[in-house]
Structure formats: structure tokens, C-alpha cells
């Protein structure tokens, strides 16, 4: 079953600094993970009143299956990605593995 790894970034303390390192760091490094088939990025809408939601951005990394995703996170490329995540995720980050259901 296809598997994805999702990074859920909470609101950063400095959104401009986060954005500066996000595309060049996170997305580029994620694209180097062995076995990654597709990357989907998203920015979370604020609430209707303009106030922030608990989440700020998400990155989904799609793999053929759980074994491929699990193998990818043991590589040097994953280590570089995690170091980059720690550097810019000043508001916190959650990382989850999930089965992809449907198309």
C-alpha cells in the first residue's frame, strides 16, 4: 500500500525566516530521499478571522510502500533533511507515517 510521510510544521516564531529556508532547504532535501515518488507541499489557511491555526505548513512525501519509506529515513539524505527541519521548525514539527487510501 502506498505510504506517505507528512511533516506538519507549527507556526514559526519568524515566518519570513522559515519561508526563506523552506523551499531551498526542506523541499530540495526531501526530493533527494531514495524512493520518494512525489512531494506535495501546502500552506495552511488562517482562521476566518485571520488568526493562525495550530499548523502552518505541511509536506507530504509519497513512497511505494511502508518498507520504502522506512528505508528512506535511515539514509544520509534523511539525516540532512532532519537537521534542516530542526533548524527552521522554530514553532515545532510533527512527523507521521500514513497509509494512502484511495487515489
Domains observed in the chain: 11-99 (3.30.70.100)
- All three cell numbers of 42: 501546502
- CA torsion angle 4 8 14 18 (round to 10): 0
Q: What local confidence, expressed as pLDDT, does residue 103 receive?
A: 62
Q: Kindly report, residue by residue over 66-92, the tens digit of the pLDDT.
A: 999 999 999 999 999 999 999 999 999
- What pLDDT, on the 0 to 100 scale, is given for residue 25? 81
pLDDT reading at 60 higher than 90: yes
Name the DSSP letter for residue 25.
I
pLDDT tens column, 4-34: 999 999 999 999 889 888 877 888 999 999 9
Amino acid at each position: 500500500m502506498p505510504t506517505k510521510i507528512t511533516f506538519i510544521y507549527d507556526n514559526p516564531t519568524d515566518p519570513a525566516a522559515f519561508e526563506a529556508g523552506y523551499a531551498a532547504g526542506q523541499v530540495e532535501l526531501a526530493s533527494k530521499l531514495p524512493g520518494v515518488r512525489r512531494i506535495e507541499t501546502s500552506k495552511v489557511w488562517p482562521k476566518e478571522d485571520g488568526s493562525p491555526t495550530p499548523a502552518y505548513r505541511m509536506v507530504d512525501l509519497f513512497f511505494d510502500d511502508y518498507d520504502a519509506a522506512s528505508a528512506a529515513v535511515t539514509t544520509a539524505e534523511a539525516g540532512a533533511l532532519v537537521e534542516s527541519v530542526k533548524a527552521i521548525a522554530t514553532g515545532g514539527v510533527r512527523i507521521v507515517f500514513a497509509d494512502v487510501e484511495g487515489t
